[in-house]
Structure 1
Amino acid sequence: MPLFTISAEDALRQLDTFDTVIDARSENEYAEDHLPGAVNWPTLDNQQRHDIGTLYKQVNAFEAKKRGGALAARNIAAHIEREVIDKPKDWKPLTYCWRGGKRSGSLSLILSEIGFRVTIIEGGYKAFRAALLLDIPRLAPMFDWRVVCGTTGSGKTRLLQALQAAGAQVLDLEALANHRSSVLGAIPGVAQPTQKEFDTRIWDALRRFDPKRPVYVESESKKVGNVAVPAALIEAMRAGPCLNLLLPDEERVALLLEDYDFFVQDGEAFCERLDALTELKGKQVVDGWKQAVRSGHIEEVVRDLLLTHYDPVYRQSMARNFKQFGSAQDIQPKDRSVAAMQALAQELVADGA
């Protein structure tokens, strides 16, 4: 069966029409970013790719291609034995590698000779990423954004989760970024995605939304931890109507102690994170917080952080960046509990707010 090719732009639109998306690059390339749902079948693994590249530079291209061809043939055979033997004849895979198509081309040629209808992305991952970056500015303005605002600890993430459970469309940027979007927001033991993977996660979420229904999103800043939100998305979000989530200070403190329990359990880790505020608040203030944490008064520190640091910064940022914050609709759950957030979410969905 002949090989088929598809442009990166068409691959964006038709991605879900293929049975399997196969990334033929090395493990490290795949880990940095890959097409949504893609599986990794390296034509050359990390070490082999390094070795063949060295041979290419130090000897010549012909010797490198011979050695690379032998390695690729063995790897492709292993992939077929492991993954393809049980595939039906009408299985339709989409393949890609970095750019030139040699690694995906080798795999695709053998699969097509078996009799499968194989499609290769022209220009590979590099072309797909370029098309994706152009597609985000097209998608972002299409939606009716409802921006969930609220001071730190007011339960914005809990409300977004409740909205999603209630059937609403939600873009949870913090979940996509593996970060809680503040100087203390890194999640212990959980790495953030690369910028490329974050962009891909956002695009994959946007393409699935229905423009006829509202999309709820938190009032994020331009960066969530170490990754940046695409400029077109930030612009679209900041133009949308705002919902101002209100929760009493004591409830906010209690919520943060629940959500950041890892800091409650590990005071020294909390103290290390507080060091990041030294430049803003001064060494004397931060040292005072750290001493209080080590003395078991973490609740007092959290309250002070909210009232003297997070709240003033947040209010200034909202007034400056979100066009409709001044006319935001106030919304208030009964308390910080998941059940209260679920009840509020159901009200919002029913009212179309």
Structure 2
Amino acid sequence: MNKISVEDFLKSREKNIPLIDTRTPLEFDQGNIKYAHNLPLLSNEERILIGTIYKQEGKNAAIDAGINVIAPKLGLLRDRIRSDFPQDELSIYCWRGGMRSSSMAWFMELLGKRVYVLIGGYKAYRHYVIEELSTLKLHLIVLGGRTGSGKTNILNSLKNLGEQIIDLEKLADHKGSAFGSIGSKKSVGTEEFENEIFEALRVMDLSKPIWIENESRGVGVAQIPNNIWNQMREATVVHLEIEDNDRLNNLVQDYNPVQRNELVESFEKIRKRLGHENTDQAILFVKEGNLKEAARIALEYYDKTYEFGLRKRSQEKIITVKTDEANPELIAKKIQQLGVK
């Protein structure tokens, strides 16, 4: 068994060494190290049971209970390791680099594997992530524009042109509004969100500009880290002025495949801000299939919110780009030609 630091642990991925997370499925879903495979020693319920025994009866009793739970699973674990991880080397971690990863490492070595164990486990990785995100100095350029401007598509077009980007909405699996959870696969919390941002930044050249979409502090249930949020607020903003009709068409295209009841629920979330009359009218438009007019009502609120936020920024750092072009690739080229640094 080889115990290695977080830095070396992360480098092991570059050597295509499979990464194994031995924690429970619940722990894994809350947050994990990118590219890790979940191979739990204990189920969610078993971990709770053994933790209770530890508190009530002590360490030795908990170890005995753990052995009794794990022993019947060894055959299945052996088969899965051999079938899913045929490589000679494996990297593993648990919560604190304790008994779960040590036990799994011992078992894997019996099967002929060379095993690397993360010192301090996932907890050490999280400390590392938080420290990095709190101290990084980034050269951010914020891509702004009213709702429906197609900023995410333009951001990805900038990436295709060779620019570095952070797609916060993709990392959070949320579009950043009351309608943002529509179509999301799961709710990404702040912990996993921070991990994703850290991993995205690891492969970037931090001396060069990084484009990032203008967002509220919260993207879904996840929060943008303080240090990055503060740098976003101080960064140059490229503010897009897109034709209203193009914005409405973008929104209709984005939400047309969506179940109507999801749109109704989203309008209900902003009823107090839209007002009862506007909300009722928007919901009626949704039920009638007139998404363009429903979107027009939503934009009355979101445009005011965006403009309020824009006014709070340093006006000297706002570059306005007006265009009657609807193609995100062409808009991205126009933005790139500005040579914003």
Normalising by the residue count of structure 2, what TM-score does the alignment of the two structures yield? 0.89
- State the Cα distance separating 1:129 from its structure 2 match: 0.8
Out of 69, 72, 91, the residue aligned to residue 71 of structure 1 is 69
Equivalent residues of 1:44, 1:75 under 8 A apart: no
SS of the aligned residue for 1:94 comes to strand
- State the Cα distance separating 1:18 from its structure 2 match: 6.1
Out of 311, 319, 335, the residue aligned to residue 311 of structure 2 is 319
Out of 312, 330, 335, the residue aligned to residue 343 of structure 1 is 330
- State the Cα distance separating 1:349 from its structure 2 match: 4.1
**Counterpart mapping for 1:93-112 below 5 A:** 93-99=90-96, 101-112=98-109
- State the Cα distance separating 1:334 from its structure 2 match: 4.8
Q: Which amino acid aligns with 1:87?
A: P
**Counterpart mapping for 1:240-319 below 5 A:** 240-263=235-258, 266=260, 268-306=261-299, 308-319=300-311
CA deviations on 1:49-106 (whole Å, 9 max, x unpaired) are: 2343444456664344223214334435433332336735xx3322111125101000
Distance 1:329 1:76, change over 3 A: farther
- Counterpart of 1:132 in structure 2 is 129
Out of 105, 113, 117, the residue aligned to residue 114 of structure 2 is 117
Task: State the alpha-carbon separation in 2 of the partners of residues 259 and 208 from structure 1.
Answer: 30
Distance 1:296 1:38, change over 3 A: closer
Task: State the alpha-carbon separation in 1 of the partners of residues 26 and 40 from structure 2.
Answer: 10
**Counterpart mapping for 1:1-353 below 5 A:** 3-8=1-6, 11=9, 16-17=14-15, 19-56=17-54, 61-84=59-82, 87-88=86-87, 91-99=88-96, 101-139=98-136, 141=137, 143-188=138-183, 190-263=185-258, 266=260, 268-306=261-299, 308-320=300-312, 322-323=313-314, 325-336=315-326, 340-349=327-336, 352-353=339-340
Q: Which amino acid aligns with 1:162?
A: S
Instruction: Report which stretch shifted further, 150-159 or 111-120.
Output: 111-120
Instruction: Report which stretch shifted further, 286-295 or 152-161.
Output: 286-295
Equivalent residues of 1:95, 1:120 under 8 A apart: yes
SS of the aligned residue for 1:43 comes to coil
Equivalent residues of 1:36, 1:204 under 8 A apart: yes
Equivalent residues of 1:42, 1:75 under 8 A apart: no
- State the Cα distance separating 1:10 from its structure 2 match: 5.1
Task: State the alpha-carbon separation in 2 of the partners of residues 341 and 333 from structure 1.
Answer: 11
SS of the aligned residue for 1:209 comes to coil
- State the Cα distance separating 1:124 from its structure 2 match: 1.2
SS of the aligned residue for 1:201 comes to helix
Q: Structure 1: where are the runs of 5+ without partners?
A: none
Q: Which amino acid aligns with 1:313?
A: T
Equivalent residues of 1:162, 1:341 under 8 A apart: yes
- State the Cα distance separating 1:332 from its structure 2 match: 4.4
Q: Which amino acid aligns with 2:35?
A: G
Q: Structure 2: where are the runs of 5+ without partners?
A: none
Task: State the alpha-carbon separation in 2 of the partners of residues 51 and 327 from structure 1.
Answer: 56
Q: Which amino acid aligns with 1:305?
A: A
- State the Cα distance separating 1:5 from its structure 2 match: 1.5
- Percent identity over the alignment is 30
- State the Cα distance separating 1:42 from its structure 2 match: 0.9
Q: CA RMSD in A?
A: 2.5
Task: State the alpha-carbon separation in 2 of the partners of residues 197 and 75 from structure 1.
Answer: 29
Q: Which amino acid aligns with 2:70?
A: A
Task: State the alpha-carbon separation in 2 of the partners of residues 114 and 273 from structure 1.
Answer: 52
CA deviations on 1:213-266 (whole Å, 9 max, x unpaired) are: 321110111001111111111111222212111211111111111111145x51
Q: Which amino acid aligns with 1:107?
A: M
Task: State the alpha-carbon separation in 2 of the partners of residues 78 and 50 from structure 1.
Answer: 22
Distance 1:45 1:300, change over 3 A: same
Task: State the alpha-carbon separation in 1 of the partners of residues 40 and 166 from structure 2.
Answer: 32
Task: State the alpha-carbon separation in 1 of the partners of residues 123 and 146 from structure 2.
Answer: 40
Q: Alignment length, in residue pairs?
A: 339
Question: Which 4+ residue blocks in structure 1 deviate beyond 6 angstroms?
Answer: none
Task: State the alpha-carbon separation in 1 of the partners of residues 283 and 16 from structure 2.
Answer: 54
Q: Which amino acid aligns with 1:229?
A: I
